[in-house]
Structure 1
Amino acid sequence: MTARQRWRGLTGVAAALLLLATPVVPSAASEQGADPGPPRTLPALTNWTAESGSYVYEDGVRLVARDAAARRVASTLADDLRASGRGRVPVTSGAARPGDVLIDVEKQRKSLGAEGYELRAGERLEITGGTEAGAFYGTRTFLQLLAQGDRIPAGRTVDVPQYKERGVGVCACYINISMPWLENLIRDMAYRKQNQLLLELKVKSERHPDANSWGYYTKSDIRRLVALAAKYHITVIPEINSPGHMDPWLEHRPDLQLTDTDGRKQPSRLDVTKDEAFTYYTSLVDEYADVFPAKSWHMGADEYMLGSDFAKYPHILDYARRKYGERATPQDAFVDFVNRVEAYAAGKGKRLRIWNDGLTGDNTVPVAAGTTVEHWLAVRTKPSELIAQGHPLMNAAYSLYLVRGGFHSDTRKLYEQRWDPRVFEGETLTSREGVTGAKISLWPDNGRGETENEVAASMRLPLSHVAQVTWGSPHPDATYADFTARDTAVGHAPGRRDLTKPPVPDGTYTLRDTEGGVPPADYEIRRTPDGYVTLKSARTGACLETRSGKLTLNVPLDPGSSVTQETCDARNTLQRWQLTPVRGGHRLTNAITRMAAHVTDDGRLVQYPTDQQPPSTWQLTPSS
């Protein structure tokens, strides 16, 4: 699903938000006074009881874990301490000594819920969760405090989230997003106690190889990503959008495309009246289950007939009336497809999720109760009605979107208005009951509008803001500047890779293909502001670019398309490349297409996914 045509505005929200204002905890400025207030974390601690003294992190610290669950948490913490430059901290059992970090899981602590924890700092530091997840989140607080210094003020907190779903949605559909970028996102999400990554993406299919247009991920890619997410207590929920936005899957399946009365096929729309369409889609659900163990399945179900008219497709109404009677509407055929997928997913042990915009109220057949609805658009069916109909409701408001090369969430405005997950597009609720949480969403509508590194920089504060409002108070600091200072103080997660540092300094280099497919040539390499490089030919004065082939979301994604020299343009993201050290030299990957430069047998420079053709290895020698 993309975000085009989604902006509808937040009507009347500002006034409603003022009614939802909650008391604020002391700001960063007040923490410098006589009453220091709670230590600074993100999300902010929901409470804090100060005590005299402090815990000091020193050489000789041990991580003491009392059972298997606590040892898993301690092992992850040890990895993160090592990644943050604090050496190898042993994990042990038995009695804790002064200076140790004690990690415990006490299942009888029901008041801590599924993810809450208690943290006590004194001569030693104690973290107790009612579950393994709760203890893990306590270690995230410890790491954030440690990022600000080795001395942690003595005190106690019991910290429990308000919402169970604290998420990020990423459309890695159409355009591949690099694995290191996604891995960084998982680490930063977990560091801020977020627990759900919703990924719309294409997994390279073994059952339907004709659908493997570029933008996909291999199954080994996904297994690695899901394993990292599980280590950090993040559930990865996959999405294949249907029955609309299916063009990545239907390009070579015209038999399944919706066709109007003039014989015009709609390559992005699945014909919901065909049993073969349902079989095709559910076969993809089964294949994804091989690599996604999540107990949820997201089918999208948005914008199916956007910009069109059911009257052009009378067979849809015929189908609905045959199945549900003369009072049925074309929308009932759409809901029927959703419900059939829901029943299929339930049979596989998975709960269904959909977007809300298809639930316009024009249907007579209800969507199956228990289907989670992610609400982003104000339509006739209001959030309160969806909750009353038995749908868990996640806030995925357009105001939380970051559109690549387009609309970006105004985090300052939301913070100052005290936005929280009860504020939906078109309705503000007075209770949290039925609301599962909220997420920010990243969309690639103009795929070349921004690079991954630019997106990472622009999403940092929106990520922190949603983490804050789904865990605790929507307004923990007196000013937005104080909130951004809080974010700066905790920093990034341990183990996060800096993807903005090219491996070679600016200069002119002779590039040699180690296979000898092309003659050596001199290029001026310059770092771009977002951390990639441009390669300007010393002979022609032109820059390497990839631009040929069919465009998808304004990006040339045809494997095998040419890499050419074009007029240099600092604004042109297709002229930005990532240099990656590999054995024997460097790999050259386009920042936008995520395909690597490859030299063909006849000496042409082209781009390919690395699993289709081996990337060329380039030796870089400073030129005289």
Structure 2
Amino acid sequence: MRPLKPLLGALALVVASAATVSVTVVPATAQTTSNPRPQTIPALQEWTGGTGSFSYSSATRIVRSTAQATTLATTSQVFADDLRALTGRAPAETTGTPADLRAGDIYLALGSTDTALGTEGYALSVTDRISITARDDKGAFYGTRTVLQLLKQSNSIPQGTARDWPLKPERGLMIDAGRKYFTAQWLKDHVKELAYLKLNYLHLHLNDHQGFRIESTSHPEVVSADHLTKAEVRDLIALAAKYKIIVVPEIDAPGHLTQVLNAHPELRLVSKTGAVQNGNIDLSKPGTYTLLRDLYQEYLALFPGPYFHIGADEYQIGNYSDFPQLETYAKATYGANAIGKDAYLGFINWANDIVRAAGKTTRAWNDGIGGGSAVTVNPNVILEFWYNYGQSPQALIDGGHLISNESWDPTYYVLYQGGPGGPGSQWGYDTWTPDLFQGSQTISEASKAKNLGTKLHVWCDNPDAATQDRIASDIRDGLRMVAQQTWGSPKLTTPWSNFISVIATIGRNPAWPSTVQEGNLAAGNPVTASSIETPSLVAANAVDSELSTRWSSGYSDNQWITVDLGAAVPIERVKLRWESAYGKGYQIQVSNDNATWTTSYTTTAGDGGIDDLTGLTGTGRYVRMQGIARGTTYGYSLYEFEVYGPAIQSGATYQIKNSGLAIDVPASSTTAGTQLTVYSPHSGANQRFVATVNSDNTFTLKNVNSGLCVDLNGSSNAAGAAIIQYGCSGNTNQKWKLAAVAGGNALVSAASGQAITAASATSGALLVQQPNTGTALQSWTLTKV
């Protein structure tokens, strides 16, 4: 599929920052109490505010209704995993009844008699505890997504009650994984992202002219070098099931088959003049049906979901009379009145019979439907309307089909030669609805239930025009537009330029892969800027620890971005990760009041890339990049604006990790001489160490639980000497220095010059000293806690 005209893009606006945009809240229902409708994407359908708030803490439990404990087990476990990703600690999971609840608990239950909620709706009650009640496990799951979004904003959730349900049953994302290879991990990351937004549908377009991207045992000759293995697909499907996502495969035929036909040139369609159709298969040949039946049956068995997509779009052969073999085949198969087009329409019904024999429902694109003489496509095929050619969406519904709205405006994101374009998120949010089809076509009110919903579509016509990370960044806002419009709830705010601030508040799902650097003081802190180039390139993107998002300023030299660290701290290092629009001349400045600035660094010779500025001096609460001269005709654009204090801060408490394990005092011992180990990270005091920076720039580490210091046993110079805890003395064998190594820092003894080393990367391994060779077992990260 591809659009036939340019896509709509976001309008450029120049404002101070998304964080400073005034948001006008439109209530879902009349508010009679103090708490306004909380910010979620999609917005809640109904909200009645209370007073006060719920508080999430280490004592919070997820309590499943005893009567539905088994049914709700996976939802509870996924919720606990997501809360671990958000807070670093998974809440306890248990079962019980409302009488067993205590303040701070989150209760999950089924059995709601509110039929209007359907299978995906839920009721939410927030007091000093939270209750999520639904008719189906899916509804309970979506209730946990609301709570997760609210906890992403704060440990306190406003008290009140809500009823919430979707407008459309299908809401999701389509990925053109045929033209461009997407890794299994990228797809898994988006499963969690879709679920975070209450989206429930992942459509994988697995083949196209440029590739066939899934392992095949029936026809390995058609598979591209870069492809998903069946093991990866099974893992993806299993993860999607936990997150209530339907995975729909598409094997596109009889067009879009160049990669397949490169291995089977004998099946290519050839005109009566000898012109070869490289991407179209000849529907008159028996081998065509053998090949496609093999592939269909192989993947019908692999994908357990209810749908199988056969594509059937853009069989662009021109005039059917140029291919007399198709008419001959059609007449022999469908009767004397058949014409060449009937060979194509009959193919859809043939494929549909295979799909239905496997217990599934066929889906196909709409553009080729109709125009036959002897064959009509079976009305039990769901048609995805993307192209306003041929039968209208109303005519398709009147013909008995269920449909979905896949109109290129505003749901297409396309990789063109010049880069990606779209989706038209601003128009999509402000004007469009899922019942407005391409070409401004509409359907009757009574027919709207036959329109299943819509998806955001990633089409990779020029697969090298953008990386996976760039695509993830570019579709972030479009997914949130689709989530809001398909849920159909009253909007929290209008227009789109205001909704951008809600997007920034909700952020990514807690498990989204982060590029956060240990010790980066700017990460996640409030940020303002002199301007933004477009509503999606906000200042918050520069401190979100994602290299796939960026801030971009207006097109002038005097632009700035400022991060508020919350308190005055010494600044020793700033790292600027520039996009191609970089600063040739700029200053790094610090301030205690956001008014009077001291310059710590100046350059007039910046060349873009990554500027890692070390050895800075100055103390301040606010840190600013003040532009002086742009390096391009555009503005200034930063993927990340990172700020660091001293590597070790005196009085700060740290958890010290290596290979996913943390330095640990075994069994919380308070005995001097106990040898330290590594153990699974947790929040206990026996894994917390307070640093004291000494006048010689070394530091000591005191365990919070025992009050004893990290010590090189006996001041030994021997490799393998034990690292223990001992009474704090200030002696050299309790002093340590940092030395940069791959992936972190070595902790080097001031007494011996050797480094603290874990005996192995397994929990319980002892700590010893060894010569500092920079190995993985000597690479530590110190995280302030």
TM-score, normalization by structure 2: 0.60
User: Partner amino acid for 1:450?
Assistant: A
Give SS of 2:464's match. Answer: coil
The residue that corresponds to 2:131 in the other structure is 126
User: Partner amino acid for 1:263?
Assistant: G
State the alpha-carbon separation in 1 of the partners of residues 517 and 247 from structure 2: 28
Change (3 A) 1:582 1:155: closer
**2:424 matches 1:422:** no
**2:52 matches 1:53:** yes
Query: Which of 481, 486, 510 in structure 2 is aligned with 1:465?
Result: 481
The residue that corresponds to 1:496 in the other structure is 512
State the alpha-carbon separation in 2 of the partners of residues 80 and 31 from structure 1: 33
Change (3 A) 1:52 1:376: same
Query: Which of 421, 446, 466 in structure 2 is aligned with 1:407?
Result: 421
The residue that corresponds to 1:483 in the other structure is 499
> What whole-Å deviation, never above 9, does each CA across 1:446-471 have from its counterpart, x for those lacking one?
11111111111111111000011111
> What whole-Å deviation, never above 9, does each CA across 1:17-54 have from its counterpart, x for those lacking one?
xxxxxxx99349x9999965311100000010112222
Give SS of 2:87's match. Answer: coil
Change (3 A) 1:63 1:34: closer
- Larger mean CA deviation between 492-501 and 132-141 belongs to 492-501
5+ residue gaps in structure 1? 11-23, 503-525, 531-580, 587-618, 620-624
Change (3 A) 1:64 1:475: closer
State the alpha-carbon separation in 2 of the partners of residues 481 and 8 from structure 1: 22
Change (3 A) 1:231 1:499: farther
> What whole-Å deviation, never above 9, does each CA across 1:281-333 have from its counterpart, x for those lacking one?
12111221343111210011000025x32222111112222233343222211
**2:325 matches 1:315:** yes
The residue that corresponds to 1:206 in the other structure is 217
Q: How does 1:131-280 map to 2 (within 5 A)?
A: 131-201=136-206, 202-280=213-291
2:175–2:458 CA contact under 8 A, matched in 1: yes
> What whole-Å deviation, never above 9, does each CA across 1:95-119 have from its counterpart, x for those lacking one?
2212100011226553321111111
1:256–1:271 CA contact under 8 A, matched in 2: yes
Q: How does 1:270-419 map to 2 (within 5 A)?
A: 270-305=281-316, 308-362=318-372, 364-399=374-409, 400-404=411-415, 405-417=419-431, 419=432
2:44–2:162 CA contact under 8 A, matched in 1: yes
Query: Which of 65, 71, 74 in structure 2 is aligned with 1:72?
Result: 74
1:453–1:499 CA contact under 8 A, matched in 2: no
The residue that corresponds to 2:18 in the other structure is none
State the alpha-carbon separation in 2 of the partners of residues 324 and 54 from structure 1: 68
1:420–1:474 CA contact under 8 A, matched in 2: no
The residue that corresponds to 1:87 in the other structure is 89
1:360–1:379 CA contact under 8 A, matched in 2: no
Query: Which of 450, 468, 471 in structure 2 is aligned with 1:434?
Result: 450
User: Partner amino acid for 1:369?
Assistant: P
1:257–1:270 CA contact under 8 A, matched in 2: yes
1:7–1:398 CA contact under 8 A, matched in 2: no
Give SS of 2:272's match. Answer: coil
Give SS of 1:153's match. Answer: strand
Task: Give, in angstroms, the shift of residue 182 of structure 1.
Answer: 1.3
Between structure 1 and structure 2, the one with the greater Rg is: 2
Give SS of 2:146's match. Answer: helix
Change (3 A) 1:9 1:450: closer
State the alpha-carbon separation in 2 of the partners of residues 167 and 474 from structure 1: 20
Change (3 A) 1:343 1:501: farther
- Larger mean CA deviation between 100-109 and 430-439 belongs to 100-109
State the alpha-carbon separation in 2 of the partners of residues 421 and 475 from structure 1: 15
1:421–1:437 CA contact under 8 A, matched in 2: yes
Task: Give, in angstroms, the shift of residue 132 of structure 1.
Answer: 0.8
State the alpha-carbon separation in 1 of the partners of residues 374 and 742 from structure 2: 63
> What whole-Å deviation, never above 9, does each CA across 1:251-295 have from its counterpart, x for those lacking one?
111122212113333231111122321221121112213431112
1:453–1:500 CA contact under 8 A, matched in 2: no
Task: Give, in angstroms, the shift of residue 475 of structure 1.
Answer: 4.5
State the alpha-carbon separation in 1 of the partners of residues 383 and 347 from structure 2: 16
The residue that corresponds to 1:37 in the other structure is 36
- Larger mean CA deviation between 202-211 and 120-129 belongs to 202-211
> What whole-Å deviation, never above 9, does each CA across 1:109-154 have from its counterpart, x for those lacking one?
5332111111100011001121111100000000011111111111
- Between Structure 1 and Structure 2, the one with more strand by share is 2
1:81–1:87 CA contact under 8 A, matched in 2: yes
1:328–1:363 CA contact under 8 A, matched in 2: yes
5+ residue gaps in structure 2? 9-22, 207-212, 519-575, 581-657, 661-740, 744-775, 777-785
- Larger mean CA deviation between 171-180 and 433-442 belongs to 171-180
Give SS of 1:68's match. Answer: coil
1:31–1:37 CA contact under 8 A, matched in 2: no
Change (3 A) 1:120 1:309: same
State the alpha-carbon separation in 1 of the partners of residues 428 and 162 from structure 2: 27
Task: Give, in angstroms, the shift of residue 479 of structure 1.
Answer: 1.8
Change (3 A) 1:500 1:151: closer
Task: Give, in angstroms, the shift of residue 472 of structure 1.
Answer: 1.6
State the alpha-carbon separation in 1 of the partners of residues 372 and 491 from structure 2: 39
User: Partner amino acid for 2:467?
Assistant: T
- Larger mean CA deviation between 339-348 and 362-371 belongs to 362-371
2:370–2:376 CA contact under 8 A, matched in 1: no
2:26–2:490 CA contact under 8 A, matched in 1: no
TM-score, normalization by structure 1: 0.75
State the alpha-carbon separation in 2 of the partners of residues 227 and 204 from structure 1: 18
Change (3 A) 1:196 1:156: same
The residue that corresponds to 2:464 in the other structure is 448
Among the aligned pairs, what percent are the same residue? 33
Change (3 A) 1:9 1:81: closer
Task: Give, in angstroms, the shift of residue 582 of structure 1.
Answer: 11
> What whole-Å deviation, never above 9, does each CA across 1:517-569 have from its counterpart, x for those lacking one?
xxxxxxxxx97749xxxxxxxxxxxxxxxxxxxxxxxxxxxxxxxxxxxxxxx
User: Partner amino acid for 2:438?
Assistant: E
2:42–2:483 CA contact under 8 A, matched in 1: yes
> What whole-Å deviation, never above 9, does each CA across 1:386-420 have from its counterpart, x for those lacking one?
01111111110111100122431221122222x11
User: Partner amino acid for 1:73?
Assistant: T
Q: Please, what is the CA RMSD of the aligned residues?
A: 3.4
User: Partner amino acid for 2:340?
Assistant: P
Change (3 A) 1:92 1:33: closer
> What whole-Å deviation, never above 9, does each CA across 1:49-75 have from its counterpart, x for those lacking one?
112222111220110012112222111
Give SS of 1:365's match. Answer: coil
